[in-house]
Structure 1
Amino acid sequence: MVVNSTPKEVVELIKIRGFANTLEASIYLGKSIHYIRRLSRDKVLISYKPNGKCIYFKIEDLDDFLMSNKRLNRENITQKAAKYLFNSRR
């Protein structure tokens, strides 16, 4: 039962099962339940509704959401800028 579990236990349960409900996804991502529902409704976070009622999320989709919007370090930014300038001069 998620209610009496610690966040660490919930994360382990999600990893074993491979999917999470809304409450478990909110614990896994560290966001509120309302925010998770909004992300699902706005199609930002991929979700599944097998019977049209309960919302479920795959662990891979939650991980992809966490890793989205990558921020580059200065070295990578410099490399991309140099590559862009080199290609734009042609």
Structure 2
Amino acid sequence: MKPEVQFNKLVVFSGSGVSAESGLPTFRDSNGLWNSYSWEDVSSPQGWKRNPEAVLAFYNERRLKAWHAVPNCSPSGNRIPGDLLRCGRHHTEC
């Protein structure tokens, strides 16, 4: 007999730039994160060895912005996650 599994979180990995319509900064656009940060400093084992606090701060900022983002109803692909999240923490009208 399998134990009952309750899922309460959803993570969606999408293509480049889709999250920008929800207000999340992208990495490579004209105002992208890599224009303000060196990927070697915040996304490599060497960067972690040099300055783990900076790496943690970079990703903590990403997590905080993602937590506060609201799913959008753009034709680029966020409609289904937005629909799924209606019963959870976020509610959007599409």
Query: Which structure features the higher share of strand residues?
Result: 1
Q: Decide: shared fold, TM above 0.5.
A: no
Say which structure, 1 or 2, has more relative contact order (CA 8 Å, 6+ apart): 1
Higher share of residues assigned helix: 1
- TM-score interval, smaller chain: under 0.3
The TM-score with structure 1 as length reference comes to: 0.24
